[in-house]
Amino acid sequence: QNPIEQEGTYPLPEAQVDRFMLKLRVGYPDKREEKEIMRRMASRHRPEVEQVMTPEEIRKMREVADQVYLDAKVEDYIVDIVFATREPGVYRLEKLEKLIDYGASPRASIYLAQAAKVQAFMAGRSYVTPQDVKTVGPDVLRHRVLVSYEAEAQDLTSDDLVQEIFNTVDVP
């Protein structure tokens, strides 16, 4: 979603938004990066695209990532994080009860587990840690936690509420 160019577009219903695994925040490039972009666009030379992996290698990497070990305690942690978006009071987060209109669906648990496995795989590990869950959590949850008007009035975003959940829910 481009927050600037929204004319003629309509927000997706929550049920459709929930089908996206992640919502990434992409900011502006820094000065060095922007200068490089400017130079590349001014150049007549267009780099050749080279294949770096075969489709079979990609499939194999996906299979290996799927096999990353997810301990039952980390599974419980994932479910607790997602449940805390729906029932904050159970997790000592009573102050969030009026700030969240809708919590994350069961898809959030599924995608949080999958993304944490990939995070662990990318870090060269064969097992998921709670830190992997924390690392990918905001990207998995930010579009699934719908803030209330009260939260908006306090200038709170779903990222703020998700961070508070991660700061409060007990880590195994």
In this structure, CATH architecture of domain 70-172:
Orthogonal Bundle (1.10)
- CA–CA dist 170, 157 (Å, integer): 22
pLDDT of residue 46: 81
Cα dihedral across residues 82, 83, 88, 90: positive or negative: negative
Provide the 10 A C-beta neighbour count for residue 159: 16
pLDDT in tens, 121-131: 999 999 999 99
pLDDT of residue 14: 78
pLDDT of residue 7: 60
Q: Where are the domains of the chain?
A: 70-172
pLDDT in tens, 36-88: 999 988 888 888 889 999 999 999 999 999 999 999 999 999 999 999 999 99
pLDDT of residue 1: 55
